[in-house]
Each structure stands twice: as C-alpha cells, then as structure tokens.
Structure 1
Amino acid sequence: MTAPPQPDAQPDAQPEPTLQPVLPEAEPLPQRGPVRQRSPLPDVLRGLALLGILIVNVQDFAGFRVWTQGGLDRVVQVLTDIFANGRSISLFAMLFGWGAAGLLARQGVGTFLLRHAVLLALGTLHFIFIWHGDIIANYALLAAALLLTARMTAPTLLLMAGALGAWWLGLGLLEWAAATVSETRLGRYAGLQNLLPGMSYPEVVADRAGDFGTNLIGGSVFNGPWLVALFCLGAAAYRTGLLLRPHEHLPLLRRLTVWGWGLGLPLGILLAWLNTRGDYASGLLATPVRMSGGLALALGYVGILGTLTAQDRLGRWLAFAASGRVAMTNYIAQSLIMTTVFYPYAGAQYGQWGAASAVALALVVGLAQLPTSAWVLRRWGIGPLERLVRALVYGGRAG
C-alpha cells in the first residue's frame, strides 16, 4: 500500500495470500503447502486491479500534477478518477486480506508470519532500489492485524471494517473542515518524488533509502485503519466463500452491483471535479472522497464479475486471470518499465508527459502483461517472484 497521503498524494503508488481459527464447515484443512486449486474470480479481480493500479500510478511515474491537466489530458484524468483512482487499490487491498485470511486459516500463524516477513523484505527492496510508491511492505506489516481476527465471524469482521473505515474517513473530513475555516492559502501537494534532471541512480537510491523508515512507519500509521478495514472485508469474503462460490451469493452480488455503482460513480465524478482544483482544501477532501468512492465501485466490480462467474459468462475477462496469478511479478515489472522510461538515470521523461500519453503507455504495458502472463504460466506454471516467495516460505515443500 506508501507515505502518508498529503493532499493529492498517490496512495496507489500507492496485490496470497493458530489461534485455532474457525474454518468454513464444508472446507477440509488441506496439507501444508501452497494452494493448488484456484477459482478464476479472485485471479480475474486481481489482474483487473493490477491494470487499474498502473493506470493510476503512472501519474507518479510520469511526474504530472492531476489538477494541471487540460484538453485531452483532462478528459483522460477524469476517466481515470471515475473508474480507477481509489477503486483499483481498494479491490487489491481486499483481495490481499482475502488471501491472508485464507493463509492463516489453512497454514497457521507460523507460515502466515514467515510469508509476510518475506513480503516485507521484498517490498523494502522494491522501495529502495526501484520505486518509492511500493505497497508491499506496508501491506505485509499491517497484515499482522489479521492475527486478531482469526476467530471472528464474517458479521464481526464487517462491523470492524465499518468502524475502522468510518473513523479514518471521519478524520479526513474533519481535517478538510478545519482547512476550509482557516486562513491557510496553501496550494496542493502532489506527493511526487523529488527527481531532478541528471540525477544518477545511486543518488535516487540514497534518497529513497533515507525516506524508507518514514514511509513505512508513517504510512502504516496514517493509512493503517483504512487498509485494515479493507483487509477485514477481504477476510469476511473468505469466511463466506463469496469469491470461491459466487453462485451461492447471487442476491448479494446483485446488491453490490447496484449499490457499488450507484455510490461509486457520483463520488468518482466528485473526485474528478476536485482534481481540477489546485487549492489545499480540495486536496484534503479528495482523499476521503477518493477512498470511499473507490471502495464502493470496487465492490461494484466484484458484484458484476462475481455474477458473470456464477453464470459461467466471464468470457474475455478470463484473460485477466493469468495476470492475477503472477501479480507480484507483474507489479514489480511495471515499476521497472515505468522508471526506465521516466526517471532521470534512464529515459529521462519525468515531467514531460501529460495524462493522455502516460495512461496510453500504462494501458499498453498493462494489457501486454495479459498474454505474457499466460505464456509464463504455460512455460513454468508460476511467475519468477511467486516462485521465489514460495521457495522461501515453503522450502522443499513448494513442490
């Protein structure tokens, strides 16, 4: 998940997953080791979220400020805000919670802690050596909160998610309200990395290394309540079998579709309007609008794709499943490609592109990862980073 979001910060730049947990009655405890049977819906959702995250993250990679966009760039930015900004990261975080809850239930505390320690190490390396917007380390650290939920039922998890989410959103609204009545005339803060023309790779790495502790701890504290709330929603989905047995939950999926789109679209339009304004208060309000609307529309996406899965009508959406199965490899690859294009020690395009051209590049890269992921799975059956994590966590039991 990054540094504490300032006005207009990019948390997307801001994603498998004892205390004797309660297991679903119809689901026997498998042998220790990685999951070998997969339902298509979680992977499709994860692959779709990964593409959306890249579309949003390209703002940070390319170094443009959203409120300065005009013409075609503004049109693209508006579409990004309505359909991807906050939506993709919310979906990804819920899926992370879903996978982590499943891992804890199946494998126990030891494997859960070991896996997330490995993810914390990989996220740290990603942040320092590749890109400052890493979310893996924050997720791995905050996942420890799920240890407290191992015996919770789905309704209890939903209550906890609601309480944490309302608290976090409420604090954001209070901060915005305070700014509207104060005399401050600050402009928006973009949350972009301070990259200067001609900076060398060692200079950029040194700068990120100095920021890492603040980013990990500060970002986890600031974003923690909201991210844990999303993890709890994912854990509740695991308890109920929503993603693995969507045919049993069609009424719920239809409600998610109606309410998710009904709330998510208006909030997305409001976010797009706020992101045309350069004042400090608009930047503050954009954060709770972004994340509340993002959660709503993310649930709307779950509703639509879950319904299609239950009706065996996923069709071309199944192409996203391959990308979802190698999500970590694809996520890191996105960072490598984009920093190579934009950062001063390589392509040096930072600050030179607007939203339209940058998002077009993101779409080319993200969509190219779909057939590439399918090829990797046909050839090796697993992505390279997924294999590394599996080996580190399960050792000789990785199979």
Structure 2
Amino acid sequence: MTLPASPGAASSAQADLPAGLEAAPESGPPRPVGARERSPLPDVLRGLALLGILIVNVQDFAGFREWTQTGVDRAVQAVTDTLLNGRSISLFAMLFGWGAAGLLARHGAGRLVRRLAVLLALGTAHHLLVWHGDIISNYALLSLALLLTVRMSARSLTGLAGVLGAYWLGLGVLAGVAALGSTRTRFAGLPDLAPGMSYLEVVSRRAATFGEDLWGGSLYNGPWLIALFCLGAAAQRSGLLIRPQEHRPLLRRLAVGGLGLGLPLGLLLAWLNTQGSLAAGLLAIPVRMGGGLASALGYVGVLGLLASRGRLGPLRAFAASGRVALSNYIAQSLVMTGVFYPYAGAQFGRWGAAAAVGLALLVGLAQLPLSAWVLRRFGSGPLETLTRRLVYGRGARREPGPS
C-alpha cells in the first residue's frame, strides 16, 4: 500500500490545523507546536503505543521467559503476543519518524540534528543509569538517515521502506530456517541480575557493554527501524494523521489489510513463544516484527477512521500521555526497575506474566490522569520542557495546556 503524495510544504502546514487556527509563523524564532495546533490522532496513537510497550517490556523488567509460562500466565502472554508484541513498538517508531520528518520540514536539518543530539544524551543516561532496554538512543542515531530523504515523496518513502523491510525480514526468516533441527535452546535476552546486586554493580555492567549495545543494536535493527521511520515520514508528507478525513479509503485498506495479516501472524507468534527451541526463537523475530507492522498499520487505520468522524471518545484520554511520552517512558523504567531490580524491590524472576502485565496496566493507566494534570499545571512534561529548551532555547514559548 502506498501513501498519496503531499502538497507543498507551505500549504500543507496551514491545512494541517483545525479550522479557525493559524499555523505557527515560519518567520521569527523557531518554537515547538502549541497545544491548540495539535491534531489529537498522533498523540492518542503515541499514548496507546506507550502503554503497549510497557506491557510487552514488563517481561524484561520482571525477568520471565515466554515459553515457560503456564496456565493463566500463558493465556496472558498469548494475548500480549497477539495484540501488542511488535505492534506497539512499530507504531511508536513510525510516530518517531513522523515527528522527526515534521521537525525537519518545519525548521530544517540543523534543528533536527540538535534535537536528536539531545535525545541521544537522554537515551544514553537512561540506558546507563536506569534500564538496559532503552530505545531512545538507537532512534536518535538511526533517524539521522531521514536527512537523506528530505526531497523524497510519500510514495518514494513507502517504496524505500518496503525494500529495507523486506531485506531485514528475509534475513530473519533465513536465520530461523537455518536453525531448524538444532538442539540448542532459545536465548532469553534478559539482563544478568543476581540477588543482592547493588545499584553501582548493575550500572557498571551496563556501562561495560554500552558501546556494543548501542552500535550493535543499531546495526542489527538499522534497516528495519529506518523502514519504520520512512513510513512515518511518508505519513507526515501526506497529512495522513493530521487530516484523516481526507484519507478514508486508505485508512480502510490499512484497517482491513493490516489486521487481516497482522492478527494471524500474532497468533503464530503466540505459538512460537510457547516453544523453547532456537529455531522458534529466531523465527519469532521476523514474525513478531512483520506481523507487528501489519497490525500497527491496522490500528492506525481503525483509529484514523474514528478520528476522521470525531469518534475517538474515551480514547482521547491517551492523548495527554502521548504528549508527555518521553517523561512517561522514563518514569515507567524507574517504577519497574524499582519494583523488580535487586537493589530495590528485588522481585526479578519471581512474577509470571499475569501479575507482571497487571502491574504494567496499573502503572500505564495511572499515567493518563497524571499526564493530564501535568499538562494543566505545567503545560508540558519535565523532560519535554528540558528537551525544548535545549533545542529551541530559553525563549521558546511554553506549550499551553488544554482548555
């Protein structure tokens, strides 16, 4: 499926806004987009993706292996794999590309590079000081590739994403097929945490492997993540998320085709994650991400159709969380490592999927009213405020809270 090409940047910037609102002036000091200039759909999608990422990541925080779950834990793991695993992270990555492409179009390469440098620093601190599973630093490095796509149309970006994605998924399938018949067991990828470890011991281990984690992860996942960023940039070019009412036929195709492919692949992933073989573990990677992308596009289609008719309803509550996604993402890591890591709550390896996912839901849903309060009180999250000041300078206008 391809996204339609976009009109010129100047007319697009004005058309992106609801009726009666003016675009931010392109002259004068650069500033971030204000709350009244925002379409709700991207923020709702980002908030939902953030909750889904936490539900999936709780396996790593809590230290349980998918294929060892039984009973209600296995049922919860199967639902997670079918509906969220690979889905939420694909949606989040596409939204990252969407935002980066918008900043690039609005303020140019220098401002984008400055923002990515700030995010790289924040992601590095997150990785070293809080949690080894940070994605911010990888995203900041790899999204520099979008600088090479500034003149590409939405259709060309979609085509490039297809080539990169097919290459990465194909290699993953080949690796899984090559492992068929192997007697080796799959790898968990969980952090090496021993009871009684101090905070400094955990940090020192992460610091020792940080370079390998950052560059190795970026090289391995690079083609796939850049493909997702390109899809997000294509959505930015076309105005798909800002003006969904203009793209209802495409949104219907995404909803039907994406979920029609993604849900069966989610069921296949759930089955693969009951198997302990190396081949199952390797095959689960392309199934997870390929099906995850399909389902993520399906979710965009469904929510885009609802947004195009003004029917997001209670889902609008996720927009507040999406607007402070960076602060919420780091806060999730702080809470979860506080519960599970040996220097704090020391529950690592003691919980199954059901209890861990229940905690993730509790934390993620609690962030919705908290995010709304933060926006009313301060206009922005703490890390969003810090990032904005570093990128735009102290003179940048504070983003107003919702009325």
Could you tell me the TM-score, scaled by structure 2's length?
0.92
Paired amino acid for 1:57: N
Distance 2:13 2:335 in 1: 41
In the other structure, the counterpart of 2:119 is 119
Q: Distance in 2 between the 1:212 and 1:161 partners?
A: 28
Please name the residue that 2:110 is paired with: 110
Name the residue aligned to 1:51: 51
In the alignment, is the contact (CA less than 8 A) between 1:22 and 1:150 conserved in 2?
no
Q: In structure 2, what is the Cα distance between the partners aligned to 1:337 and 1:367?
A: 13
The answer (yes or no) to whether the contact 1:82–1:268 under 8 Å persists in 2 is: yes
SS of aligned partner of 1:58: helix
Match in the other structure for 2:392: 394
1:27 to 4, 13, 17: 13
1:162-241 alignment runs, 5 A limit? 162-180=162-180, 184-241=182-239
Give the superposition deviation at 1:211: 1.2
Partner Cα distance (2:8, 2:288) in 1: 34
The answer as to whether partners of 1:22 and 1:151 remain within 8 angstroms in 2 is no
Post-superposition offset of 1:26: 3.4
Matched, 1:274 2:260: no
Could you tell me how far apart the structure 1 residues matched to 2:176 and 2:99 are?
34
Quick check: 1:152 aligned with 2:143? no
The residue number in structure 1 matching 2:258 is 260
Helix, strand or coil for the counterpart of 1:106? Answer: helix
Matches of 1:96 and 1:239, distance apart in 2? 14
Please, which moves more after superposition, 33-42 or 119-128?
Answer: 33-42
What percentage of residue pairs aligned between the two structures are identical?
Answer: 69
Answer yes or no: is the 8 Å Cα contact 1:24–1:239 preserved in 2: no
Q: Deviations over 1:237-293 (max 9, x none)?
A: 000000000000011111111011100110000000000000000000000000000
SS at match of 1:26: helix
Q: What letter matches 1:26 in structure 2? A: S
Q: How many residue pairs are counted as aligned between the two chains?
A: 377
Residues 317-364 of structure 1, C-alpha deviations (whole Å, 9 max, x = no match): 000000000000000000000000000000000000000000000000
1:23 aligned partner, one-letter code: A
Which ranges of structure 2 fall in alignment gaps of 5 or more residues?
Answer: 1-6, 15-24, 398-403
| Correspondent of 2:291 among 290, 293, 296 | 293
Does structure 2 conserve the Cα–Cα contact (< 8 Å) formed by 1:46 and 1:324?
A: yes
Ranges of 4+ aligned residues in structure 1 off by more than 4 Å: none
Residue type of the alignment partner of 2:48: L
Q: What secondary structure is seen at the aligned counterpart in 1 of 2:395?
A: helix
Match for 2:123: what amino acid? G
Letter in 2 for 1:126: H
SS at match of 1:271: helix
Shift of 1:23: 2.2
- Structure 1 counterpart of 2:307, from 306, 309, 323: 309
Please say if 1:284 is aligned against 2:282. yes
- In the other structure, the counterpart of 1:376 is 374
Q: Secondary structure at the match of 1:212?
A: helix
| 1:24 Cα offset (Å) | 5.9
Change (3 A) 1:387 1:185: same
The equivalent residue for 1:6 is: none
Matched residue SS, 1:345? coil
- Pairwise CA distance, 1:221: 0.3
1:81 aligns with 2:67: no
> Where do 1:84-95 residues align within 5 Å?
84-95=84-95
> Take 1:206 and 1:340, find their aligned partners in 2: how far apart are those partners?
18
3-state DSSP of counterpart to 2:354 = helix
* 1: CA distance, partners of 2:350 / 2:13: 53
Distance 2:109 2:169 in 1: 31
Letter of the 2:309 partner, please give it.
Q
Partners of 1:377 and 1:177 lie apart in 2 by 49
Deviation at 1:139, TM superposition (A): 0.1
User: Aligned-residue CA RMSD in angstroms?
Assistant: 1.1
Asked if 1:342 corresponds to 2:328, the answer is no
**Distance in 2 between the 1:269 and 1:122 partners?**
36
Task: Report the residue type matching 1:30 in the other structure.
Answer: E
CA distance in 2, matches of 1:26, 1:130: 40
Cα distance, 1:30 vs structure 2: 2.8
- Over residues 126-146 of structure 1, what are the superposed CA-to-partner deviations in whole Å (9 max), with x where a residue is unaligned? 000000000000000001100
TM superposition shift of 1:185: 1.4
1:37-92 Cα offsets, whole Å, 9 max, x none, are: 11000000000000000000000000000000000000000000001100000000
Structure 1 residue 397, shift from structure 2 partner: 2.9
Cα distance, 1:246–1:82 mapped onto 2, change above 3 Å: same
- CA positional deviation for 1:22: 6.4
